[in-house]
Structure 1
Amino acid sequence: MLPLRRPRTTVRTAFCTALALVASMSSAAAVASSTGLPPANVDQALGGEPTGLRAVTLITGDRFLVDRGGDLVSVTPGEGRDEVGFRVEASREHLYAIPADAERMIAQDTLDRGLFDLKALLDAGYDDAHRAELPLILGGSTSTSLSATRLGSQPVPEGTVVTRKLAAVRGVAVEVGKETAGELWKTLTLPNGVRAAAGIRKIWLDGTVRATLDRSVPQIGAPSAWAAGYTGQGVKTAVLDTGIDSSHPDLAGRVVGERNFSSSADAVDHFGHGTHVASIITGSGAAADGKFKGVAPGVGLLNGKVLGDQGSGSESGILAGMQWAVDQGAKVVNMSLGGPDSPGTDPLEDAVDTLSAEHGTLFVVAAGNEGADGDSTVGSPGSADAALTVGAVDDSDTLASFSSTGPRLDDDAVKPDITGPGVHIVAARAAGTALCKNSCVQPGDGPVDDNYTSASGTSMATPHVAGAAALLASAHPDWSGEQLKRALMASARPTADRGAFQQGAGRVDVAAAINERVTSDPASLSFGLAAYPHTDDAPTGKTLTYHNSGDEDVVLDLTASTTDRAGRPVNDGTFTVSPERVTVPAGGGATATVTSDTRVGPTLGQLSGTVTATAASATTTSAAAVARTPLGVVRETEGYDLTLRHIGADGNAPAPATGDTLYDVVTGEIHPVSIQSDGTAVVRVPPGTYHLTSTVFTRRTDGSYERAALYQPQIVMDRDTSLTLDARVAKPIGVTLPDPLATASSGVLAVRRTTSNGQGRLTSSWLGSLDRLSFAQIGGPATAPSTTGSLQAMIGGVWTRPEAYEGANPPEYRLAYSLPDQPYAGLTRHLTRRDLARIDNTLGASVAKKRADISAVPYAADGMSSAGVAIRTTTALPRVQTDYVNTEAGVSWGFIVTQNGQTLQNEANYYNPERRYRPGRTYRAGYGVGVFGPGLGLAEGRDSFGGTGWGLFRTGDTLRMSIPLHTDGAGHPGSTGLRFGGSARTTLVADGTSLLDIAAPPATTNIPVPAGDARYTLSTDLNQQATITDVSSRITSTWTFRSATAATGTQRVPLLNVRYAPRLATDSTTPAGQPILVPVTVEGARAGVRNLTVDVSYDAGKTWQRVPVHAGRALLLRPPTDAGSVSLRAKAVDGRGNTAEQTIIRAIKVAPLAN
């Protein structure tokens, strides 16, 4: 199966709040394994920017920065949203940033939680660097609620475009420009997020989707169906996939209709997946003398290309394809695609159920290939009720290890429904494609010859079942899709060592289905979750109706059995059926009651069952009058209720934005908490020890909010437990400063909770106005770290003068304090200038009308930091700003400066790694002033912002490079945003063999290299956008060096790098007609510099002249009065023969003489 992959605040108005729950993650680097060393399979995790800040704008217009380690750096609320809070939950798979005014609609299932998953948005390419618009799907209350010009009762706002009408969800697909997303949010929602606006039923992210026979066809009984005269003739079967190569000999004449819903140019399959799937359904086998014949060779194919030539497409495109298929008269629709299911109903699930009911179409959908990840991995839209969801078996009917299994998320229902052959399936190969050549579900798959390829997956199992459904439909042309589903499931053959949650009814048997006369409705029965303990469980009965499509009455004997997940008989009596015998009249039905009694037996967990109906009389001519109905119930292992009561600061129920996160300190699992309107919540959890983070919002009479952050680091759940979270116990931070006019503005509160094994951690961070924030640890301490983990906490913020004093360029006070692991409430400190270190910052920009975000990250002596969200302020450029920072208890500080334009954000970034400052001392730092060029990040201090540093590194026979090409004159590693213009290229050659050639800077790229020693040439070429920087407009570098296999660990490769540090104005200019001293250094010359030459150009590189390097450390330049710029070209050679050649065009601007 091809899987679905489902920020303007200044320091004076920084009232944005964020509760960030950030679990520690390890990011493993992808390493190609080719020994032949073709061009590298590159992992560019940073979107081509070595400093790695990536921006994501949400539907609300709020903008987040995420660093290269996956941590949240800062948030810039959208226009008019300074008072809105954010709750951020992070795990290994997700990084949710949920605005307070979205909480209630998510709980109401009217707003897709996936719209706020920063990690998923980055993975899908929906970040600001890759996409200027955010794609959405809107579901309407009625079929006429949404149109090309109106969204409910409101007109489509400026900046939003309706791109498709989606009848399947009574909705439309839209794209909204990120600069105007906030206006669309106002159109779609009522104030404070009480609910969606009139006419809006659901708001989804338009996610991206990627696509997921000679023995297998006889395995499912297709030849018997052919022998009976059923080939699928006259049955239209749609394949919604990557297109179909209709010129393939096996598919000649089979495509009767086609339409392209992808972003690719045509409906032809240039990826290979759709053709393979289509030929499993109906291929003639002509290119192999009939050997690889499909299941239903008589069907007419509808080719709906919903996935493009790279194997991906949009959900809205798939929805349009589904509607087209049913409008074209498809009886069966094959969907070998999907992705992780999520709570609630997504648009694809909604469409499957709606179109199935309205058109009688059967949607046959792959279960997914995530079986290795455990239970509840069946994907969407296979999770839809109406879907016939298909798992995979091999040629001996053994369940494939990759096949996704149930129970279904949310309600523990039985899914998948059925299985089909899906291991090493040989079928048609689209011309010019190599499906599964480089990445296969199963080893051994790949091209067989020019016409065929082998592949494995539930993608291959699904068309076997779709073909079977087409054969059955040709036998019963009047049957609905639901009837086809019931017959296929009733006649399937279960595998003995698996339960219903792994295989549904079992492997499809179309020969038996053709003869099936008795089916059950529903085709499976799910009894959901039975809560622990089970002594008080009440038996649950459900009705099962048998239908007889034959011409004679049938007497059925009914028996019920119970097995565990491995198919072993257990807990006899859990499932019973009554009566034990029924008579089903010809063309009619009869009912029985199936009862689940979870009081019975010792076995806990998943319990499967089967009701088997067999013909009671041998005189019955319906020899195939046997039907099986799979059953399922989950008998919960030990679990308890945690009841939470939230009280606002006014003593009443809190505001709707209140949110909790419950963290298991042993397993690291995050348990979602759904808070009701009265402030109560009940969470069912296994026994264990938990950490609770709660943010209680209280609405003031003026419409603003107070926020109380409450932390309970240790909740032992060995019984049902109640806990009150009262905002009135929390207290604010109180600080007195040397400047009596300075008041608190933005701040961050961070609490880190580790798991007992030390492998996981949760960092809860709050960013917002400190005068609206109170906080308390209401329980604890965390006790013994070896058994329950540890707790660290820090609070920090910035204090400055009110807006009325802004013109005086007042200092800013940045303070951070560790908090004890014990109950506390608030914090008080009294400071003098002797307690603080002074930092005089010069902030420059070579282009006018720029602004800067200054993000400060404090670190405690024990390593604790607020890195989940930095303390951020905003200022106009250029600026000379004085910061005071506290130094007590070993606190240290790191800084990030981000240049922003008037409309464009995150144009350039500069990093100042963490360092300790001493009280009473004055320090100076400069950012954004040239000369800009490559940097190796060799300054003191550890790399505080993700990763292990800048430069070139080798681990074994893999190189990793992260070389910031826009490092400023003070040595702060930096980059510019190429998404706004400009270009870059990076190449790597080893002993004459090309290893890498990419149109991107050298950004955290993992490259396999030859074993042993070789001579390498690394080249980069950066052309910068003039609206971002008009100095260092082009930077080219070529490094040569020798490198051998790293024997142990990771080793830095000895690159040379030439750096210039002249004293320039804040716009990187020097006066015309005056000499300028340019200090020169060579980084990385561990073997000493053997030779260094520098050339200068005063005409942007047209002509060059050699200049002396005085004492090997400085240039003395005399730009002519008519020179507009100074360009520099250098070559350095070290004692081992490593070289660096570097050219920087317009390195320095020359300011003309005043008249």
Structure 2
Amino acid sequence: MLGRTLVAVVALAIPLAVVPPAVADTPQPGSVAAKSVTLITGDRVTVDGDRVGFEAGPGRKDVRYVTEGTEDDWSLIPLDVAGDVARGVLDRSLFQVPRLIAAGLDDASVKGLPLIVQYRDGAAPKTSLAGARTLTSINAVAATAPRERAVWGQLGQDSAVAKVWLDAPVKASLDRSVPQIGAPEAWQTGFTGEGVKVAVLDTGVDDKHPDLVGRVEAAQNFTDSEDAVDRNGHGTHVAATIAGQGAAGTPARKGVAPGARLLSGKVLNDRGSGNASGIIAGMEWAAQQGAKIVNLSLGHPDEPGLDPLEQAVEHISADSGVLFVIAAGNDGPGASTLGSPGSADSALTVGAVDSEDELASFSSRGPRVADFAIKPDLTAPGVDITAAQAGTTGHVAYSGTSMAAPHVAGAAAVLAQQHPDWTWQQLKAALVGSVKPGGSLTDNGAGRVDVAKAVKQTVAADAGTLSFGHLRWPYEDEPIERTLTYRNSGAEPVTLDLALDAPEGVYTLGATQVTVPANGTAAVTVTAQVKSSRPGAFPGRITATGGGVTVSTLVNLSTEVESYDLHVKMIDQLGTVPDRPDDYMPMTLMPEDGGPLIKIGINHGDSEGPVRVPAGRYLAYAVLRTAFPDRRDELSVVPVPGLEVKEDRELVFDARDARLLNVATDHADARTAGETFTFIQDREDGRQWGARFSLDRFSLPRNVSPDPLRFRVSPTEGKTRGFRFETFTQLAALRADGTFTDTPYQYNLLLRREGSVPGSLRVRDRELGTVRAHLATLRADATGAFGAGPVTDGPGGSYTSWSQAVVSLPATPTWYFTPGVPWRRSIETMPSGRLHQTDEHAEADSYRAGRTEKEWWNTGVVGPALPDNAAVTRNDKAFTIARTPLWYPSRPGRSLMSSDYGGGTTTLLRDGKVVGTADKLPGTVTFPVEPGRGRFQLVLDGTVNPKASELSTKVRTEWSFTSSGAGSVPLFVLRANPQLDLDNASRPGVLVLPLRLERMTGATRQLSRIGVEVSRDGSRWVKAVVVPSGKDTWKAIVPVLPRKGEFASLRLTARDTAGNTVEQTVERAFRVR
């Protein structure tokens, strides 16, 4: 069988890319620190700004990785489990690295990934993981996968495991609002929810608040917080909206059902967040405690299919008769933004309106993802809702669908008191059927809840929504019939007139009038019929009126667009159809019309099953595995551009002609050391699809044969409109030990082919730009790793993962570049052991064909700088110092990043008195200051870990300036760039020290004085003679340097014509030969 189709709507996507250990775009100084996530496979992914790298888990050195998604929202999936993800055995969320980091699930924040392990029907849940929690409703266990264990290796071998999910992080999503929905009128009839148990699964409930004293019958904690007390306030606000007594204020601040009894399940911690497993455990507990209604003012983004929370809603509703009232979410105003578990069929899902019954902009809208069902079901007040404030005796106003849901939960409690024998389905139908209609059906559902009307009406329908399903194209001409039943609980018959408000020609009523007998039922047939020319969603409303009764019932039908079956056949390199039943590999279809990306897991053992896809033109590709009897398996990427789907057809992925895409150069011993090739497909909306595949051979261990680890790619015939092939290839000299260490040259090539995938490529050195590189060293035992990546504007943007060539420093390699393309470059300097590193990055530069240039890297003096993004500003209340680094390379256009550069302090003084000191360097530091004129000193002191560098080990910058008020502070520094050798050493004797001025915006005054001093020990300083050499440049003549083998420290001072000054001291600025 084929795996389940996975659909994702993206604008610019990289559906596949194998990410090597790499360096990439430079994070700006002051950026968020690097964060790592250890995957369920045991592999570790590290993200530092735009830089993405990985470290394979133990015993997984040959594993390759697949990335997919957009630049901001992507997954990194080890290729050996990509099939498991595609066929739905492993939750894709486990590999969505940016989302995991944003949710606080990085290695520094948690001990491991939280999991829900779901078992097949009939299999008993079990796990060896510590601290496991059984979730009976979905036949699962929840546990944390410790980082030191690659738990998928064990779980993947257990045939009883149905799916492993990320235990999804979930967050929390009344005076005039209670009358707005008619609650006081319901109370006057004697119904206040008396005796009905309502569970509030939230942040806890403050049962000591006057509005809630005596209302909470039981409480339980399901979070990592210490107890069930509400220290957040969200749950207390929700609980008071349901059953508050109004005792702390006026009676007008009563909840909707002041007679209801509350159960408090703390499923969100004191920060307002929790996990799916804790919420499910709370749902099960609430059912066991006898709750009739459960309020869930929480959620997370919905995806196609049923996630664990949705499953729990369905199972517990069916088994325990509980009505789940769930917030729609606060991700509006876009369409299909409904959250889970509000997306569950059984949920009574609630959007938010304001006091005028207008839909709130934040309220999540329908239709539901994948099947276009109508959700939310109804709305309730959710804007500026006043209710009890936890930890006080007062009240507070909040907005959100979290505030709307408890209005409906309270209404359900009132109705449940009136009709204690009603099922959850009847309660839901009655509330949906008695709404005040208004707004779009897909945005608002039926309308705004009206509890007064729900209590007074004696007639209700058996369903709030009558669904006719999602029809497969071509649609049958046969009509589809459903029965709508009305139930009358009154003592007199009621005659109802039926009216239909729906798209013309889709629905018909079997009768326009029906009489419902006293304490009886009456049914009417509703028929739906569509034509093949009408794909889409068709929501509508049936309104029944008569005898003072108005009952609304929604109808909905959705239809598939014109679609056909693809019969997929895969042929490996040996010419056979692979037969490995447990081996699933990904196949992808990219529609040129910009429709949803289609990803499918193909089981090699049954690769001829049908795949349903919309009619159109596609770029298709698949990854095929070939199992050789005498060597390791190989992977082939087979593209099929220009695939036309206008009837049922066969799609063949044939890897027999797949080959390594080698690039021939003028160096006979050059071998591919890093490659990334991309399929690019134009779309009708002017955007592009892209699929990217990479391998880094620079980083392979010794004696590993690299060719079998590379992807093979099948060339294509002809020229396909709108299709382009692009390869970023790096070549170097391969050593006898199988590594590229100390390669004397490196090719960095970006090659393109319009319309097809080539079988081979060739370049000549004369066609390329050439760089004679001079790589200096910052310490005696260091190595350097050079990386380069092209800047492109195609799908996925620039290549943010680069391979790196390792050389012993100092070194003078030759680099070749494709001309006319901007290249970002960097070099990592690492001492032996690789525990410390320094990264120097260069701005993107282009090179000219046939031209040879020289570049110097890692050269001193590494010292204070004011890059373009530096900022020191003052407003009426504070000084803010941002991105004023103490360590920057001497060459213009360079930056330096290292965790070993940054220990120190930032101090601000005013008129000689300390304003504040921060134990960090900008980054960003803010000090409060009083208004008015003053003489300020800003002092930065920093030290470097000597294991990272023997140079610039201590640096101090002190600025002195006058400031009167808000604005930019006119700082400046001097940059020194002496002529040093590749050991960053100068010969003894006279030294000419070139200087240049760097200014911040607004620092326009000319310098009136410059001083340069050199010292061997920091106590005795020798002054230099300084002479101008151009605009904002000078030369300092240093007559005497320290002795051979010593280090020279440097002190630079300057003053401008306004009296602003700077003093910069760099200890061990350079060596003396």
Q: TM-score surpassing 0.5?
A: yes
Displacement of 1:670 after TM fit? 4.0
Say whether 1:1108 aligns with 2:1023.
yes
Q: Secondary structure at the match of 1:288?
A: coil
1:20 aligns with 2:17: yes
How far the C-alpha of 1:184 sits from its partner, in A, is 1.7
Checking the alignment, whether the CA contact within 8 Å between 1:524 and 1:631 is kept in structure 2 is yes
Report deviation, 1:531.
5.1
**Alignment-derived partner of residue 567 in structure 1:** none
Once the two structures are superposed, the pairs formed by residues 741-890 of structure 1 within 5 Å of their partners are 741-753=669-681, 762=690, 764-767=692-695, 771=707, 772-775=710-713, 778=716, 791=724, 793-802=726-735, 804=737, 809-811=742-744, 813-829=746-762, 837=770, 839-840=772-773, 842=775, 854-858=786-790, 867-873=798-804, 875=806, 879-880=809-810, 883-890=813-820
Contact in 2 for aligned 1:51/1:964 (Cα 8 Å): no
| 8 A Cα contact 2:765 2:816, kept in partner | no
Deviation at 1:225, TM superposition (A): 2.5
Corresponding letter in the other structure for 2:465: S
Match of 2:155 in 1: 188
CA shift for structure 1 position 414? 2.3
How big is the shift at 1:640? 7.1
> In the alignment, what sits opposite 2:455?
514
Equivalent pair of 2:218/2:263 in contact (CA under 8 Å): yes
Match of 1:596 among 515, 528, 553: 528
Q: Does 1:1056 align with 2:973?
A: yes
Following superposition, the deviation at residue 520 of structure 1 comes to 4.5
Gaps of 5+ in 2: 1-7, 9-13, 20-25, 698-705, 1027-1034
Structure 1: distance between partners of 2:490 and 2:915: 71
Matches within 5 A, 1:171-320: 171-178=140-147, 180=148, 183-190=150-157, 197-264=158-225, 267-320=228-281
How far off is 1:103 after superposition?
Answer: 2.8
Letter in 1 for 2:558: V
Report the 3-state secondary structure (helix = DSSP H, G, I; strand = E; otherwise coil) of the residue aligned with 2:339: coil
Amino acid at match of 2:291: A
- 2-structure distance, mates of 1:761, 1:953: 42
Task: Check the 8 A contact 2:740/2:805 in 1, yes or no.
Answer: no
Correspondence for 1:633: 557
How much has 1:322 moved relative to structure 2? Answer: 3.3
Structure number with bigger Rg: 2
Task: Write the mapping of 1:1068-1107 to structure 2, written as runs, cut at 5 A.
Answer: 1081-1085=995-999, 1089-1093=1007-1011, 1106-1107=1021-1022
Structure 1 residue 60 corresponds to structure 2 residue 41: yes
Of 586, 589, 592 in structure 2, the residue corresponding to residue 659 of structure 1 is 586
> CA 1:237–1:1036 in structure 2 vs 1: closer, same or farther (change >3 Å)?
farther
Identify which range, 713-722 or 397-406, moves more after superposition.
713-722
Deviation at 1:393, TM superposition (A): 2.4
Match of 1:734 among 662, 667, 688: 662
Deviation at 1:826, TM superposition (A): 2.4
Equivalent residues of 1:797, 1:871 under 8 A apart: no
1:226 Cα offset (Å): 1.7
With 1033-1042 and 258-267 compared, the bigger mean Cα shift is at 1033-1042
Please report how far the alpha carbon of residue 380 of structure 1 lies from its aligned counterpart in structure 2 after TM superposition: 0.8
**SS of equivalent residue, structure 2 residue 88:** coil
Partner of 1:820, secondary structure, is strand
Among all aligned residue pairs of Structure 1 and Structure 2, give the percentage whose two residues are the same amino acid: 34
**Hey, what's the Cα distance between the residues in 2 that align with 1:831 and 1:77?**
36
SS at match of 2:252: coil
Instruction: Give me the whole-angstrom Cα distance separating, in 2, the residues matched to 1:47 and 1:324.
Output: 49
Measured after TM superposition, the shift of residue 1095 of structure 1 is: 7.3
- Give 1:58 deviation, angstroms: 2.9
Give the 3-state SS of the residue equivalent to 1:464 in structure 2: helix
Spell out the pairing of 1:1126-1137 with structure 2 (5 A cutoff): 1130-1134=1052-1056
Q: How far, CA to CA, are the matches of 1:388 and 1:127 in structure 2?
A: 34
2:88 maps to 1:109: yes
**CA shift for structure 1 position 646:** 4.8
| 8 Å Cα contact 1:834-1:920 kept in structure 2 | no
SS of aligned partner of 2:402: helix
Query: What value does the CA root-mean-square deviation take over the aligned residues?
Result: 5.4
| 1: CA distance, partners of 2:851 / 2:692 | 32
Other structure's SS at 1:137 match: strand
1:909 alignment partner AA = D
Structure 1 regions of 5+ residues with no counterpart?
1-5, 7-16, 23-44, 191-196, 433-449, 564-569, 938-948
C-alpha distance in 1 between matches for 2:108 and 2:645:
45
Amino acid at match of 2:163: K
Range moving further from structure 2, 602-611 or 273-282: 602-611
The answer as to whether partners of 2:75 and 2:96 remain within 8 angstroms in 1 is yes
The CA deviation string for residues 684-720 of structure 1, in whole angstroms up to 9 with x for no partner, is 4476x65555544444445744344455665677888
The alpha-carbon distance between structure 1 residues 175 and 1059, as it changes in their structure 2 partners (threshold 3 A), is farther
Q: Structure 2 matches for 1:338-349, cutoff 5 A?
A: 338-349=299-310
Measured in 2, the distance between the counterparts of 1:925 and 1:512 equals 80
Question: Where in structure 2 are the equivalents of 1:921-932 lying within 5 Å?
Answer: 921=852, 923=854, 925-927=856-858, 932=862
Q: Tell me what 2:897 maps to.
A: 975
Residues 861 and 1070 of structure 2 are in contact (CA less than 8 Å); yes or no, is this contact kept in structure 1? yes
Task: Please state whether the residue corresponding to 1:371 is helix, strand or coil.
Answer: coil
Deviations 1:1073-1093 (A, max 9, x none): x99979574551476654445
Give the CA deviation at 1:320. 3.9
Quote how far apart the aligned CAs of 1:294 are.
1.4
Alpha-carbon separation, structure 1, partners of 2:732 and 2:212: 71
What letter corresponds to residue 649 of structure 1 in structure 2? Q
CA distance in 2, matches of 1:905, 1:489: 63
1:1122–1:647 Cα change, 3 Å: closer
Give the alignment partner of residue 433 of structure 2, picking from 490, 494, 499.
Answer: 490
Tell me how far 1:341 sits from its aligned partner.
Answer: 0.6
CA spacing shift, 1:1054–1:983, aligned 2, 3 Å: closer
Tell me if the contact between 1:368 and 1:403 (Cα under 8 Å) persists in the aligned partners. yes
Match for residue 353 of structure 1?
314
* CA deviation after TM superposition for structure 1 residue 857, in Å: 1.0
Aligned residue number for residue 4 of structure 2: none
Question: Does the Cα contact within 8 Å between 1:111 and 1:203 map onto a contact in 2?
Answer: yes
Asked if the contact 1:574–1:596 (Cα under 8 Å) also holds between the matched residues in 2, the reply is yes
Q: Please give the per-residue CA displacement for 1:1022-1070, whole angstroms capped at 9, x wherever unaligned.
A: 66667766876665555578999999xxx9986435457695997x999
Give 1:445's aligned residue. none
SS in 2 for 1:400: coil
Look up the match of 1:609: 540
Q: Which residue of 1 aligns with 2:387?
A: 427
Three-state SS of the structure 2 residue aligned to 1:857 is strand
For the pair 1:460 / 2:374, whether they are aligned, the reply is: no
CA pair 358-1096 structure 1, distance change in 2 beyond 3 A: farther
Which amino acid is the alignment partner of residue 413 of structure 1? A
Deviation at residue 464 of structure 1 after TM alignment: 0.3
Following superposition, the deviation at residue 956 of structure 1 comes to 14
**In structure 2, do the counterparts of structure 1 residues 220 and 715 end up closer, same or farther at CA, with 3 Å as the change threshold?**
same
The reply to whether residue 408 of structure 1 matches residue 385 of structure 2 is: no
Could you report, residue by residue, the CA deviation over 1:162-221 in whole angstroms, capped at 9, with x for unpaired residues?
Answer: 46554454434433444x35x22212224xxxxxx3343322223333322333212222
Amino acid at match of 1:503: N
Pairing 1:117-136 to 2, within 5 Å after superposition: 117-128=96-107, 133-136=112-115
Work out which of the residue numbers 840, 847, 869 in structure 2 matches 1:910.
840
**Which letter maps to 1:184?**
V
Amino acid at match of 1:422: G
Classify the secondary structure of the residue corresponding to 1:473: helix
Task: Give the distance between the partners of 1:1019 and 1:662, measured in 2 at CA.
Answer: 58
Give the C-alpha shift of residue 966 in structure 1: 4.7
Q: Partner of 2:447: helix, strand, or coil?
A: coil
How far the C-alpha of 1:367 sits from its partner, in A, is: 0.5
SS in 1 for 2:368: coil
- 2:500 & 2:911 partners in 1: Cα distance? 69
Question: Does the C-alpha gap of structure 1 residues 475 and 866 become closer, same or farther in structure 2, counting only changes over 3 Å?
Answer: closer
**Counterparts of 1:868 and 1:84 in 2: how far apart (Å)?**
21
